[in-house]
Amino acid sequence: MFGLSVALPLSVVAAVLLHLMPVGFVWSSYQPHYLLLVALFWVSRHPSHCGIGCVASLGLLADLVYGNWIGQQLLSFALAAYLLLAINRSVLSPTLVQQSLIVAVLAALVSLIQVGWMDLDGAQLALLPALVGALIGGLLWPLITLLLEPLYDSGEIR
């Protein structure tokens, strides 16, 4: 439908706005990382166009927008993208359920990195809400795939 030069920024803006949308205090601690989910979608579907560098720049954007230490999410996003690309090379054509499980594990890893980083910083952050947010992200993966897959169809064989 769109080229990658339109589809990627459009989905990134939608993810940032969805994350910044005001929700209740309780839900905000369980909120999945929408920008990470969008980044993982693009790197899993089109790694030649959106690779680890693109995902790392989205992590830097997340650091700037969400007010974290510079490099915190950049590092965790790049690590998640690297692991996803490594898994995609070994698991050819994973089903949607397998993709959801992989995304939930990667989102949990990113959450654990962020919790560890904040613990080193001296902040008090609960581990359970971060892991529940990662699980919710894994459960939202089929919906994100359903919404973003028709947005960009390159016509190339994966």
Judge contact between 76 and 114, C-beta under 8 A.
yes
pLDDT digits (tens, 9 = 90+) for 40-56: 999 988 888 889 999 99
Q: Cα separation of 53 and 78, whole Å? A: 7
What are the structure tokens assigned to 63, written together? 């650091």
What integer pLDDT is reported at residue 158 of this predicted model? 45
- For the chain, helix (H) and strand (E) counts, in that order, are 7, 0
Alpha carbon distances (Å) from 132 to 37, 135, 149: 15, 5, 25
Examine the pLDDT at 28 and tell me if it is beyond 90: no
Regarding predicted confidence, which is higher, 153 or 12? 12
pLDDT of 4 > 80? The answer is no
Task: Report yes or no on 136 lying in a domain.
Answer: yes
Give the per-residue pLDDT at 122.
72
- Residue 33 within any structural domain of the chain: yes
Which whole number is the average pLDDT over 23-34?
83
Please check whether residue 90 lies inside any domain of the structure. yes
Q: Is residue 156 part of a domain?
A: no
Residue 13: pLDDT band with limits 50, 70, 90: very high
Q: What is the DSSP string of 97-115?
A: HHHHHHHHHHHHHHHHHHH
What values do phi and psi take at 125, rounded to 5?
A: -135, 130
User: Which is higher by pLDDT, 155 or 157?
Assistant: 155
Whether 134 is covered by a domain: the verdict is yes
Tell me how far apart the alpha carbons of residues 130 and 115 are, in angstroms, rounded to a whole number.
8
In a domain, 38, yes or no: yes
**Nearest-angstrom CA–CA distance, 133 and 34:** 10
Give me the pLDDT at residue 126, please.
73
CA distance 70 to 63: 6
Total structural domains within the chain: 1
> Which stretch of 8-12, 79-83, 112-116 has the lowest confidence by average pLDDT?
112-116
pLDDT for residue 154: 57
Q: Quick check: 84 and 40 in contact, CB under 8 A?
A: yes
Of residues 128, 76, 144, 129, the one with CA closest to residue 106: 76
pLDDT of res. 67? 78
CATH number for position 94: 1.10.1760
Q: Is residue 94 part of a domain?
A: yes
What is the residue range of 140's domain?
4-151
| Residue 111 or 24, more confident | 111
Tell me if 96 is assigned to some domain: yes
pLDDT confidence bin for 153, thresholds 50/70/90: low
**Which tens digits make up the pLDDT trace of 61-95?**
999 988 778 888 899 999 999 999 998 877 767 88
Mean pLDDT of the chain: 85
